[in-house]
A = this chain, B = another copy of it.
């Protein structure tokens, strides 16, 4: 196992600023592009990350620490963000930044890493899961969605790169 709470927090606290540096001011062509019907644009990925702060990560951790395995985590809707309004990306990124900062502040008060990382809750599909597993998943979930944004953006130039497509792993289907 590689998980250390302080290293996990290093990644979690960087994600909003990284997305801001990367996406702020990009043309709509990059921001609204997707990988085809039913797939998300970079802006929709940001919406999804905001929704996760509100309903998924910290709420589930608090539930696990409170209820243990006695009750399964309440379900949440992975597509809830698709109904979100048309704020500007700048507003969305600021909202994500604030929501993440709040989650990490709560994490500090809720969790004692010496005592709580191996405590378990009940996932509605998987059964028993550990606090450590939930926190590791939070980190990898950020990384998954950074990877998704990169992939969506690369896809836009699939035809433009011409013969180089052979050398660009990210364009492999």
Q: Which residue of chain B is the closest to A144 with respect to CB atoms?
A: B170
Taking a contact as CB atoms closer than 8 A, the residue among B14, B137, B148, B157 that contacts A3 in the complex is B157
Nearest chain B CB to A21's CB is how many angstroms away?
4
Report A11-30 residues with CB < 8 Å from chain B CB. Answer: 11, 14, 17-18, 20-22, 25-27, 29-30
Identify which of B126, B146, B163, B170 contacts A140 (C-beta below 8 A): B170
Q: Which A residues from 42 to 97 make CB contacts under 8 A with B?
A: none
Question: Knowing A129-B163, A157-B2 touch, does A168 contact B137 (C-beta < 8 A)?
Answer: yes
Query: Given contacts A143-B150, A157-B136, is CB(A7)–CB(B27) below 8 Å?
Result: yes
Do the beta carbons of A160 and B143 come within 8 Å of each other?
A: no
Partner of A144, one of B2, B154, B162: B154
Interface bin, chain A? 35 or more
Q: Which one of A3, A129, A148, A150 has the highest number of Cβ atoms from chain B below 10 Å of its Cβ?
A: A150
Q: Is the CB of A171 within 8 A of B140?
A: yes
> Given A2-B29, A170-B147, is A140 in contact with B159 using a C-beta cutoff of 8 Å?
no
Contact with B along A81-120 (1 / 0, CB 8 A): 0000000000000000000000000000000000000000
Within 8 Å by CB of A14, from B21, B144, B151, B168, lies B21
Q: Give chain B residues whose Cβ lies under 8 Å from the Cβ of A167.
A: 137
Given contacts A2-B29, A7-B29, A156-B2, contact A137 B161 (CB under 8 A): yes
Instruction: Name the B residues within 8 Å of A159 (CB-CB).
Output: 1-2
